[in-house]
Copies of this chain bind each other. A is one copy, B any other.
Amino acid sequence: MATKVTKIGVLTSGGDSPGMNAAIRAVVRTGIYHELEVYGVMRGYSGMIDDDIFRMESRSVANIIQRGGTILKCARSDEFREPAGRAKAYENLKKRGIDALVVIGGDGSFKGAQKFSNEFDIPCIGLPGTIDKDIAGTDFTIGFDTAVNTAVEAIDKIRDTADAHDRLFVVEVMGRDAGYIALHSGIATGAENILIPETKTNIDELIASLGEKEKRRKLVNLVVVAEGDEFGGGNEIARIVKKRLPNIDTRVCILGHIQRGGAPTCLDRLIASRMGYHAVESLMQGRYNVMVGIVNNKLHYTPLDHAIKAKQKLSNQWLKIVKILAS
């Protein structure tokens, strides 16, 4: 890989997240600024295997910075996990002379990129695109801020009706392995209890706390649950609460896929633009097979091998604050 990068491919992989389009735009335009040819790969590694690859110009990314979803679509590819699939993908890059890749996605996508790079000497850059914010080596992931604001707006609406009826709502937000969305949206909406995968959920404590609030007629009760909580998400929590506190009028709401879409927030567009710019800069400088992250507002490069799912070191302080502020 001594030779200079001249043609790059860009793709979005894994689950989509708001801000991916802003990142694509930044990669394309920074590439063109450096006089590279830029190619869009459709549907992640699937499009690389199926040869669904097209040349992108500056105008290809006009008017997309504000759009949710991804114009390159994304998918998970089983075939890319097999050597034969990766070989096919490589042939499709090679015939166009594409000599570097920018992969926007999560830790699984980065592992694939690293393996591909090892096998075919294609330098890769990873950009963390996931609403779950559960990737080591960066304070921000593209899409988290939008997803958590979508959750907050939805819970604000639920609070209106909860307040009108003095009801308890159990709201399930996304986060299979990580409780960030639950923690942030729960604090921001004044939830009384927040249940996340990172901590052991003490159901007796939850019941006791809700029962105590019922007694002193604290009116609105919101419990925010991450879908990955070990008790099994909103439906299960609601079931237990209804059984043990039958006098409380309890409802459940699963926010679901609305959290993945929508126009990205300012912050998500900014970090996506910044990361996309530096993805190309990094390739130009010969730094590759890294994920571009931001730590303490400075660029931070993590080898793709190490850009794994990170358990949050859940601040005990936050959990204490939640209890005090919702009292």
Q: Which residues of A contact B (CB under 8 A)?
A: 12, 16, 18, 22, 25-26, 29-30, 32-33, 43, 58, 62-63, 65-70, 73-75, 139, 145, 148-154, 156-166, 169, 184-185, 187-190, 219-220, 251-263, 265-267, 269-270, 273-274, 277, 296-297, 321, 324-325, 327
Q: Which chain B residues border A190 with CB–CB below 8 Å? A: 25, 63, 65-66
* A62-B219, A66-B152, A75-B165 known, 18 other contacts, Cβ within 8 Å: A22-B188, A25-B190, A29-B325, A33-B324, A43-B166, A66-B189, A68-B160, A69-B161, A73-B165, A74-B164, A139-B297, A145-B266, A152-B269, A156-B263, A157-B258, A157-B261, A253-B257, A296-B296
Q: A256-B254, A270-B187 are in contact. Are A30 and B262 (CB under 8 A)?
A: no
Q: A29-B324, A190-B65, A297-B296 are in contact. Are A16 and B165 (CB under 8 A)?
A: yes
A262–B254 Cα gap in the complex (Å)?
Answer: 17
In the complex, the 10 A-B pairs of residues with the closest C-beta atoms, listed nearest first: A157-B261, A160-B261, A68-B160, A69-B160, A16-B164, A161-B260, A188-B269, A296-B296, A69-B164, A157-B262
Cβ of A327 to closest chain B Cβ, rounded Å: 6
Q: A254-B254, A273-B187 are in contact. Are A157 and B161 (CB under 8 A)?
A: no
A/B interface sample: 14 pairs, CB < 8 A = A22-B188, A58-B327, A63-B159, A66-B159, A66-B189, A66-B190, A73-B163, A149-B265, A151-B266, A158-B258, A160-B262, A189-B269, A254-B254, A296-B296
Q: A62-B219, A265-B265 are in contact. Are A260 and B145 (CB under 8 A)?
A: no
Checking B162, B185, B261 against A159 with a beta-carbon cut-off of 8 angstroms, the contacting residue is B261
Nearest-neighbor residue (CB-CB) of A68 within chain B: B160
What's the number of copies of this chain in the assembled complex? 4
A158–B260 Cα gap in the complex (Å)?
Answer: 7
Q: Which chain B residues border A189 with CB–CB below 8 Å? A: 65-66, 269
Asked if B270 and A184 sit within 8 Å, CB to CB, the answer is yes
Q: Which of A139, A161, A253 has the most CB of B within 10 A?
A: A161
A150–B258 Cα gap in the complex (Å)?
Answer: 11
A189–B65 Cα gap in the complex (Å)?
Answer: 7
Q: Which chain B residues border A220 with CB–CB below 8 Å? A: 62-63
Cβ of A234 to closest chain B Cβ, rounded Å: 10
Cβ of A270 to closest chain B Cβ, rounded Å: 6
Q: Which chain B residues border A325 with CB–CB below 8 Å? A: 25-26, 29-30, 273, 277
Q: Which of A157, A253, A273, A321 has the most CB of B within 10 A?
A: A157
Asked if B266 and A157 sit within 8 Å, CB to CB, the answer is no
Asked if A262 and B165 sit within 8 Å, CB to CB, the answer is no
A70–B107 Cα gap in the complex (Å)?
Answer: 39
A145–B261 Cα gap in the complex (Å)?
Answer: 20
Asked if A261 and B156 sit within 8 Å, CB to CB, the answer is yes
Asked if A274 and B321 sit within 8 Å, CB to CB, the answer is yes
Q: Which chain B residues border A164 with CB–CB below 8 Å? A: 12, 16, 69-70, 73-74
Q: Which chain B residues border A32 with CB–CB below 8 Å? A: 327
Q: Which chain B residues border A158 with CB–CB below 8 Å? A: 257-258, 260-261
A18–B161 Cα gap in the complex (Å)?
Answer: 9
